[in-house]
Amino acid sequence: MAEMVKLFVNGREVEVESGKNLIDAFKVIGVEIPHFCYHPALGADGNCRMCLVGIEDGRPPLVPACKTLVSPGLKVQLDTEKIKKIQRDMMEFELINHPIDCPVCDQAGECTLQDYYMSYDLQDSRMTVPVVAKGKRMDLGCGVVHDQERCVLCARCVRFTRLITKTGELGIVNRSDEARVEVFPGRPLNNRYAVNVVDLCPVGAMTSRDFRFTQRAWFLTKDKGICHGCAKGCNIYIDHNREKYKDDVIYRFRPRLNDQVNGYFMCDEGRLTYHAENEGRLQVCRLEGKDCLQDYAIQSAKALLGPKALMLVSPNCSMEQMIAIKALSEACGAKLSGYSDGYIKTGDGDDWLIQDDKSANRAGLALLGIDCTKETFTGLLNGSDVLVSFNNDLFVHETGNEFLQRLEKIKIVAIATHDGTLIQKASIAIPVASYSESSGSVVNKDGLLQHFVRAVQKNVLPLDMIALCGTLGGPVATESDAVNEMKKVIPSLTDMIPEGGVKLTASEAAHVPA
Amino acid sequence: MEVKILSAKFDIKDAHTLEVAKQHGAYSRLEKLFSMEPVAVIEEVKSSGLRGRGGAGFPAGLKWSFLPKGLNKPVYLTVNSDESEPATFKDRFILVRDPHLLIEGIIICCYAIGCHDSYIYIRGEYTTQVKALQAAIDEAYAAGYLGENVGGYGFKLDVTVHRGAGAYICGEETALLESIEGKKGQPRSKPPFPAVEGLYGCPTIINNVQTIASLPYILENGADAYKQYGTEKSPGTHLFGISGHVQKPGMYELPLGLPILDVIEKVAGGVLNGKKLKAIIPGGSSTPVLTPEEAKTVTLDYESMAAHKTMFGSGGIVVLDETVDIVKLVENLAQFYHHESCGQCTPCREGLGWILKIVKKILKGEGSMEDINLLVELCDNIEMKTVCVLSAACTMPVRSYLNKFRHEFEAYVKKGASAQADVKQG
C-alpha cells in the first residue's frame, strides 16, 4: 500500500495516495479535474491550462493540477467561481477556432471537448471574427488521418512518438494560433504503434482510417477482451454493435489499461485482428466438401475418434478448451499434439509489446504438458488414420510435399473458426465460436493468466468448443468442468481469475503433469 | 543628467578592441576579483542593490544566492542578449561599443557563482553585434582572459555565443534555455526555476547583458559608489532608449529615479515639433501606458512605476504625441504579440489572435461596444493563466489603452455605426 496523504478539496478533507499529481490522486476518489494534455503515460506538459486549480493561501494561488503533487494539508479549490470561470474561459479559447463539426466528426460521443462543454462550459459562442483555417483530412501514415482544425495542440500524439515509440515522426510546427501538428515532408508516421495516437487524442483531430465513419461511438458496446494477436495478451476493448436484424459485428479493438501487460497501448497489427473475427469465418458444417447438418457432422466425426486419431490443438485455444480437448483425447485413446511452429514469426517481435509468437496461449500448452515438437507430431501423424484439428491451421506452417502427401492419405476433421486450406482438405469441418464469442483464459508469455468473457453475440450461436468436446465423448463438457480441472493444474488458483490477471509462480509455469 | 558608467567607453574610438579597451581599464579588476572570496563578490553585488536589467528588476545578488549548494553538477551562466522587446535598444550598444565590459562582467559573475561555462544568447537579427562580440571573445581568448587560465589566476572559463533565430519568446529565460539546448523555443513551466534546474538540467543563472556589464564598476568602486546613483531601492544607472515623438531620440545613460517628464524634456529635447504629449510607454511595448497627467508624478525607477500601475521594464521609453491613433497602436501591439506567441498554451495561443481580430474589426468600423468590453474581458481571461508571461506582456498594455483611451475605441465604433446607418438611409 502506498503512503496516504490527507489534504482538502473544496473544503472537504480527503485521503489520497502520495506521490501522485492532483489529477490522478483525485480521480481515485471520484473528483474530476478536467484536462486535455495530461496523460498518465505521457506525463504532465501543462500546456492546455484546463486543469488550473486554486490553492487556498497558496503561492502561487493558481496552479496546473497536472504538475502539482499532493502534499499534506494542501487546500485545493475546484468549485470556486474563479476556477469555474477559468474552466469556461479555457473552453472558450479551445473552441473559438474549432470547426464544431461534431455531426460529421468521428470522435463525437467520446470527445473530451464535447464532454467538457457539457460539464464545464455551456456558454454561447462570442466568436464574431473569422476562424483560423488549417489542414483537413491529412494522411499522416499508418492509417492515421489528421484534422488540424479540430486539434487542441495538447501534444499527446507528439509526446507519444517522442517518449514512447521514440520515433519522433510528429512535431508541432509554426507558432501562435497557426501552430499545428505535422509530419516532416516525405516522412510520415512509420511505427508499429502509430494508431495509439488516435486513442490518445482527446478530440477528433486524430482518426483511424480503418474505423472512421463505420460506426457512431454511442452505438458501440464496449466489452473487455484479450488480444489473441500474439503471446503478449494485451488487454483490449472489443467495440461491437448488433444492429437491428443484423449480426453482431466488431468495429474496432482498443487498448485497455493493464500495467502488468500493455499499459495504455497496443500494436497496430493486434488492433486490426478484429477483422478476422468478422471475416472469413467458417459458417456451416461440411462433410466431404458439402454443407451438412451439424448433428450429422458431429456424429460422423465421433465415429472417427479412437487410438488411430491424432488431435492437434491450436496454441490459440483457451486453457479451458485445451483441458477439454486433452480430456477427450485421453477418453478415446487418441494422441495429442500442440505442434504449431508456423504461428511463430522469428524476428518479428520487438522489445515492447509485439512478440514473435503469434498465438495467445502457447504457455497453456506447456502448462498442460502437451508436446509441441515437430518430431513428435510427424511421428504421431505417421501412425494415424485421422487428424482432428482443433482450430490449428496446419497450412500456416506446413507446405512441404512430403507432408502434403501424408495428409492426402488420412482423413482430416477440422474443428475451426475460419475457412481455409485445411477446411478444403477436410472430410469433416465443424465451425466453432472464436475467442470474441466465448469466454476462457489464456496464459501470456510472461506467465500471466488472464480471463476474458464473451463479447459478441451472434444471431446463430456458433458451437462452443468445450461443449463439442463433450458431445464427441469427452469427460470435460462445460466451462465449469474445465475450470475445476484447471485448478488442479494451477494450485494457487482457488477463486475466479481477477481482472488484470494472475501471475503464475515459476513452479506453476514450469509445471508439467506426469 | 547623463552619467557615464556603462557607457564610459562608448564614445572612445575603437573601444571594442582589446587594445583600446585595456588602455581604458578593461580587465583591470581581475586582480581584485581573484583576491576576493566568491561569497564576498556575491555580498558586494547584493549590497550594491543591482537589479536585473532585463525588465523584471529582480535583485541580481539575491538571484545568485538561490543556486543550490553542494550539488555535484556544473553551474551555468547564461547572458540574455535577446533584446527583442519593441522600443528597447540598450544592450546592443554594449555589444558593439564595449564588448570587453560584458566579458569582464561575465568573468566576475562566473567566479562569484562558480561557473566555468557561460553562454551568451544573442538574437539572430543582431548580425553586427554578434560579429563584434565574437571578435572580442576571440581576442579575450587569445590574450588569456578566457579559457583554461583566466588572466593567469587559475580560473577556467569558456564563453560560447549562441545565436537565436528571431523569436521574441526566446528572451523568456526558460525558452532561451530550450533554444540553447537545440529545441523549439518554448517556455518551461516553473517551478523548477532555472537556478535549480536550468540549462541541461543544471543550476543556471540567467542575467541580462546590462546587468552583467554593471559588475566591473561595482567591483572596482564598491557597492557604496554604485548606490550614489539612483534611489534607495533602485540604485545605479540604466541605459534608456528614448524613441518616438521626441526631438533627440537616442540611448542615454541616466541614474534611476529621475522624473520621466524632465528626462523627456531636458535629455530628449521635448516632444517633436512642439506637439502635444498624448501618452508615454515607459519601459518597452509590454509596459502599461502612462497619460501625461499620470506622468507628472512618475520617476524612472521600479517603485514609482509600480505605484503608477505600470512597470519599469527595459528602459525603452516611447513618447507618443497627439497624432497617434491609439487603436492602430493597439493593433500593431496585438499583431506583434500574437505573432510571437509560441503557441504552446491555450489562452495565449488562441486568445491573442482573437484580440487582434477584434481590434481589426473595430478599426474597420464593424465593431460594437460589446467588442470593446470583450477585449477588456479577454485580457483578464488570458492574463496569469499561461505558462509564461508573454500573454501578460500583451494584455497588460492593451488593457491600459482600453481603460485610458476607451473613447478612441468608441469613436471607431460610433463612426462605423453611423456609416452603416448612412448606407441604410442612402
Cell 478612441 sits on residue: B408
Report the residue from A48, A130, A175 with minimal CB separation from B341. A175
B354 Cα to chain A: minimum distance (Å): 8
Q: Could you tell me if B198 and B275 lie in one domain?
A: no
Rg (CA), chain B: 23
Instruction: Decide if B341 and A153 are in contact by the 8 Å CB cutoff.
Output: no
Q: Is B374 on the interface with A (CB under 8 A)?
A: yes
C-alpha grid cell for residue A120? Answer: 464545464
Q: Could you tell me if A164 and A290 lie in one domain?
A: no
The answer to whether residue B311 sits within a structural domain is yes
The answer to whether residue B330 sits within a structural domain is yes
Q: Could you tell me if A185 and A313 lie in one domain?
A: no
Count how many pairs of residues, chain A against chain B, have C-beta atoms within 8 Å.
90
Report the residue from A94, A129, A179 with minimal CB separation from B357. A129
Instruction: Please tell me the predicted confidence (pLDDT) of residue A1.
Output: 63
Q: Could you tell me if B195 and B272 lie in one domain?
A: no
Cell 452505438 sits on residue: A219
A206 Cα to chain B: minimum distance (Å): 19
pLDDT of B302 > 60? The answer is yes
Of B128 and A510, the structure prediction assigns the larger pLDDT to: B128
A129 CB neighbours in chain B (<8 A) are 354, 357-358, 360-361
Q: Is A221 exposed, middle or buried (0-12, 13-18, 19+ CB in 10 A)?
A: middle
Q: Is A259 exposed, middle or buried (0-12, 13-18, 19+ CB in 10 A)?
A: exposed
CATH of the domain at A316: 3.40.50.740
The answer to whether residue A299 sits within a structural domain is yes
The answer to whether residue A336 sits within a structural domain is yes
- Taking the whole predicted model, whether its pTM rises above 0.90 is answered as yes
Instruction: Please tell me the predicted confidence (pLDDT) of residue A148.
Output: 97
CATH of the domain at B418: 1.20.1440.230
**B222's torsion region: left (phi>0), alpha (psi -120 to 50) or beta?**
left
Instruction: Decide if A89 and B371 are in contact by the 8 Å CB cutoff.
Output: no
Q: Search chain A and give the residue with CA nearest B192.
A: A67
- Give the domain-ending residue among B286, B321, B356: B321
Instruction: Please tell me the predicted confidence (pLDDT) of residue A514.
Output: 32
Instruction: Please tell me the predicted confidence (pLDDT) of residue A512.
Output: 44
B358 CB neighbours in chain A (<8 A) are 128-129
B338 CB neighbours in chain A (<8 A) are 176-177
Q: Could you tell me if A73 and A116 lie in one domain?
A: no
Instruction: Please tell me the predicted confidence (pLDDT) of residue A510.
Output: 64
Q: Could you tell me if B143 and B257 lie in one domain?
A: no
For the segment B380-405, the average pLDDT, to the nearest whole number, is 97
Q: Which of B94, B175, B167 has the alpha carbon at shortest distance from B125?
A: B167
The answer to whether residue B4 sits within a structural domain is no
Q: Which of A287, A280, A281 has the alpha carbon at shortest distance from A426?
A: A287
B189 CB neighbours in chain A (<8 A) are 46, 64, 67
Confidence label for B426 from pLDDT (cuts 50, 70 and 90): low
Q: Which of A465, A285, A459 has the alpha carbon at shortest distance from A361?
A: A465
For the segment B328-333, the average pLDDT, to the nearest whole number, is 98
Q: Could you tell me if A325 and A376 lie in one domain?
A: yes
For the segment B248-265, the average pLDDT, to the nearest whole number, is 97
Q: Could you tell me if B58 and B159 lie in one domain?
A: yes
The answer to whether residue A88 sits within a structural domain is no
Instruction: Please tell me the predicted confidence (pLDDT) of residue A509.
Output: 67
The answer to whether residue A443 sits within a structural domain is no
- Give the domain-ending residue among B276, B299, B321: B321
Q: Could you tell me if A75 and A179 lie in one domain?
A: no
CATH of the domain at B309: 3.10.20.600
The answer to whether residue B55 sits within a structural domain is yes
The answer to whether residue A261 sits within a structural domain is no
Q: What ipTM does this complex have?
A: 0.94
pLDDT tens for B89-116 read: 999 999 999 999 999 999 999 999 999 9
Q: In what order do the strands lie in the sheet with A75-77?
A: A12-17, A4-9, A75-77, A52-55, A62-64
Report the residue from A50, A94, A175 with minimal CB separation from B343. A175
Q: Which of A319, A364, A311 has the alpha carbon at shortest distance from A485?
A: A319
Residues of A with CB under 8 A from a CB of B: 46-50, 52, 62, 64, 67, 86, 89-90, 92-94, 96-97, 126-130, 132, 152-153, 172, 174-179
Q: Could you tell me if B292 and B337 lie in one domain?
A: no
Q: Could you tell me if B302 and B336 lie in one domain?
A: no
Terminal alpha carbon distance of chain A = 40
- Are the C-beta atoms of residues B233 and B49 closer than 8 Å to each other? yes
Instruction: Please tell me the predicted confidence (pLDDT) of residue A492.
Output: 81
pLDDT tens for B32-79 read: 999 999 999 999 999 999 999 998 899 999 999 999 988 899 999 999
The answer to whether residue A122 sits within a structural domain is yes
The answer to whether residue A17 sits within a structural domain is yes
Q: Could you tell me if B214 and B122 lie in one domain?
A: yes
Q: Could you tell me if A65 and A105 lie in one domain?
A: no
Q: In what order do the strands lie in the sheet with B76-81?
A: B158-163, B117-122, B76-81, B204-208
For the segment B172-181, the average pLDDT, to the nearest whole number, is 97
B341 CB neighbours in chain A (<8 A) are 175-177
Q: Could you tell me if B330 and B314 lie in one domain?
A: no
A156 Cα to chain B: minimum distance (Å): 12
Q: Could you tell me if B361 and B413 lie in one domain?
A: yes
Q: For a pLDDT cut of 70, what percent of chain B falls above it? A: 100
For the segment B175-201, the average pLDDT, to the nearest whole number, is 95
Report the residue from B169, B343, B361 with minimal CB separation from A174. B343
Interface probe, candidates B172, B179, B349, B366, chain A, greatest A C-beta count within 10 A: B349
The answer to whether residue B39 sits within a structural domain is yes
Instruction: Decide if A93 and B341 are in contact by the 8 Å CB cutoff.
Output: no
Instruction: Decide if A46 and B358 are in contact by the 8 Å CB cutoff.
Output: no
- Give the domain-ending residue among B265, B300, B321: B321
User: DSSP of B188-234, one letter per residue?
Assistant: PPSSSPTTTS-GGGS-EEEEEHHHHHTHHHHHHHHHHHHHTSB-SSS
The answer to whether residue A229 sits within a structural domain is no
A64 CB neighbours in chain B (<8 A) are 189
**Residue-range definition of the domain harbouring residue A317:** 286-438+457-509
The answer to whether residue B7 sits within a structural domain is no
The domain tally of chain A equals: 3
Q: Could you tell me if B42 and B141 lie in one domain?
A: yes
Q: Is B225 on the interface with A (CB under 8 A)?
A: no
- Are the C-beta atoms of residues A324 and A350 closer than 8 Å to each other? no
Q: Could you tell me if A66 and A101 lie in one domain?
A: no
Q: Could you tell me if A64 and A102 lie in one domain?
A: no
Q: Could you tell me if B172 and B46 lie in one domain?
A: yes
d(CA B126, CA B110): 24
Q: Could you tell me if B203 and B245 lie in one domain?
A: no
B1 Cα to chain A: minimum distance (Å): 40
* CB atoms closer than 10 angstroms to residue A383: 10
User: DSSP of B264-302, one letter per residue?
Assistant: IIIIS-SBGGGPPEEEEE-SSTTSPPB-HHHHTT-BSSH
pLDDT tens for A211-227 read: 999 999 999 999 999 99
The domain tally of chain B equals: 3
The answer to whether residue B337 sits within a structural domain is yes
A97 CB neighbours in chain B (<8 A) are 350, 353
| Residues of chain A under the 50 pLDDT cut | 512-514
- Give the domain-ending residue among A208, A233, A256: A208
pLDDT tens for B358-374 read: 999 999 999 999 999 99
Report the residue from B184, B360, B385 with minimal CB separation from A49. B385
- Give the domain-ending residue among A208, A241, A257: A208
**Residue-range definition of the domain harbouring residue B332:** 326-425
C-alpha grid cell for residue B75? Answer: 553551474
Q: Could you tell me if A145 and A67 lie in one domain?
A: no
Rg (CA), chain A: 27
B368 Cα to chain A: minimum distance (Å): 11
CATH of the domain at B139: 3.40.50.11540
Q: Could you tell me if A101 and A65 lie in one domain?
A: no
Q: Could you tell me if A134 and A100 lie in one domain?
A: yes
Q: Could you tell me if A71 and A125 lie in one domain?
A: no
d(CA B21, CA B12): 9
- Give the domain-ending residue among A148, A174, A208: A208
